[in-house]
Structure formats: structure tokens, C-alpha cells
Amino acid sequence: MKNSIKVSPVWTKDLVARRAAEFLRFEQAMREAQSDYRNSCARFIRKNRIEARLDTSDERFRRATRKQYLAFHAAKQSVYNAKRRLQTAVRNCAELARAI
């Protein structure tokens, strides 16, 4: 039977740098997903010749943009998680704590 005790990662500047790079990658992916979602919204508006305010509760709109919306939402969640991991790494890195 394996030991169930969790071992924390070693908090080093290298780990902080990796977490920062990871955060930036997720942030860029979120921007791309947001752009895809906005493009799908614009495509729906053009296709349906909507000139007034877009009703986002319209089922046709939701069906047309669902895939992009879910990808955007997942990307936002990934950015949030990566940001939290980066904050934890910075907070727990003894080398950075001494420098402050």
C-alpha cells in the first residue's frame, strides 16, 4: 500500500519561473478562446442578419456558439488555476521571501 502523505514540491526560483511561464501560456490560450467565441458570435449575427441587440438567451444562438463558449469558459478556469499556482509558488519560495 502506498503512503498517502502528500509531499509538497520544492519551492525554488526555477519552479516559480515554470509556473509563471505556464500562467502566460494559459493566458494566451484564453485570449485565443475568447477571440474564437467573439468570432462565432459575430458569425451568428451576420448569418441571421441581426441588427438590433443580440438576445443571448436565444436557443439558436446558444447552439451556434456553445462549443466556443465552453472552450472559453474552460480556458478562463485554467488561467485562474494557473494564477493561484503561481501565487502559491511565489509565496512559498524561501529564496524570493528573503529577497523581498
Q: Which three cell numbers stand for residue 84?
A: 493561484
Question: For the chain, which residues make up each domain, given as ranges?
Answer: 13-99
Convert the pLDDT of each residue in 16-55 to its tens digit: 999 999 999 999 999 999 999 999 999 999 999 988 888 8
Q: Residue 25 and residue 40: Cα distance in Å, rounded?
A: 23
Convert the pLDDT of each residue in 16-27 to its tens digit: 999 999 999 999
| CB-CB contact of 64 with 36 (8 Å) | no
The structure's pTM equals: 0.81
